[in-house]
Amino acid sequence: MKAGVRKFGAADRRLLPEGRLAGPMPWVIAIMTFLTVLAAAAGLGLGSAAGNLDASMANRLTVQIMAANPDRREAEAAAALGALEHAPGVTRVHRLTQDEMQKLLEPWLGGGSLEADLPIPAMIDVDLASAAGDRLDAVRGAIGAAAPSARVDSNATWLAPLGRLIGALRWLAITLVLLMIGATAATVVLAARAALDTHRATIEVLHLMGATDVQVARLFQRRIALDALFGGAVGLAAAALVLVLLGSRAAALGSDLLGSVALGPLAWALLIALPILGVLLAMLVARATILRALGRML
C-alpha cells in the first residue's frame, strides 16, 4: 500500500469542494476577526492614551492663588512666579492670562467680564522634570512661603483614578482578544470535524489509493486556510472602516484625551498582522484536529 503513495495535485484537491462563500465558516471567522481587531485596537489605543497621559500630565502642577482681594492676589501671584522660577526641578512656569481664563470658564459661566461678577483665582501651570518627584514637597513649600493663599494641585493625583480606569479597560480588551482567539480555534475544530464526517467516504478511498494521514490532513488544511484567509480579509476590512470612521469623529471633537487614543503606524501593522496570524492558527488547529481524528478512525 505504501508503494502507491503519491503527491496530490490540483485535480486531486477537487475531491474536497472549496465553496468558500457557501459555508458558514468564513463568515464566522470574519465576525471573529472583526471583533478581535476592534478589541485589539481598543487595547492599543488605550495603551497609547495612558502613555500620553503620563508623559504630559504626571509631572504637572496647577497653582491657584485664592486671595479674594485683587491687589493681594496679584502680589501673591507675582511672588509665586518668582519662587517657582528659582525652585529646583521646575522646567516651565506659565500664568494663565485673563483671555485664557475667559475661554476656560466661558462654557460654564458664559461671556462677559468675569472679574466684575466674581473673583477669579490666578492660575499658574508648572511643569516639573521627570525626576523631580522627590522635590515636590520642596516646591510646595516654596509656593506656600511666597503665596499663603495658594492651593497646589498635582495633576497626577486627580488623574490617578482615570489612569486606573484606562488600565482596567486595557486589560479587558486584552482578555477579549484572547477569548476571541480561543473561540476562533474552537470554530476551526468544529469545522474540521464536520468536514471530516462529510467526506468520510472520500477519505477511505484516498487511503485505499495509498494516501497517508498527513496528505489527507493537508487537503483539509488547505481548504480551511482559504476559508480563514477570506474571512480574515473581510473582518479586517470591516474593522478598519469602523476604526477610520471613529477616528475621524474623535478628531472632530478636538479633545486631547480622545486624540491620544489614535492608532499609530506600528499599531496598524499589528492589527493587519492579526488575520495573518489567524490563518496560521487555523492551519495548525485544523492539521492537529484532522490527524487526531484520522488516527482514531484507523
Contact between 80 and 140 (Cβ < 8 Å): no
> Can you give the pLDDT at residue 38?
92
> Can you give the pLDDT at residue 234?
94
User: Other CB atoms closer than 10 Å to residue 53's CB: what's the count?
Assistant: 19
Q: Is the pTM of this model over 0.75?
A: no
Position 237 pLDDT exceeds 90: yes
For 25-54, what is the mean pLDDT?
Answer: 85
> Can you give the pLDDT at residue 179?
94
Position 5 pLDDT exceeds 90: no
> Can you give the pLDDT at residue 19?
47
> Can you give the pLDDT at residue 276?
92
> Can you give the pLDDT at residue 11?
44
Mean pLDDT of the chain: 79
Residue type at position 104:
L
Query: Per-residue pLDDT tens for 246-273?
Result: 877 776 665 555 555 677 788 889 999 9
Domain boundaries, the chain: 2-54+165-297, 67-148
Query: Per-residue pLDDT tens for 196-227?
Result: 877 777 777 777 777 777 777 788 888 888 88
Residue type at position 239:
A
C-alpha cell at 221: 488544511
In 3D, which of 275, 279, 285, 287 has the Cα closest to residue 225? 279
Per the model's pLDDT, the better-predicted residue between 19 and 50 turns out to be: 50
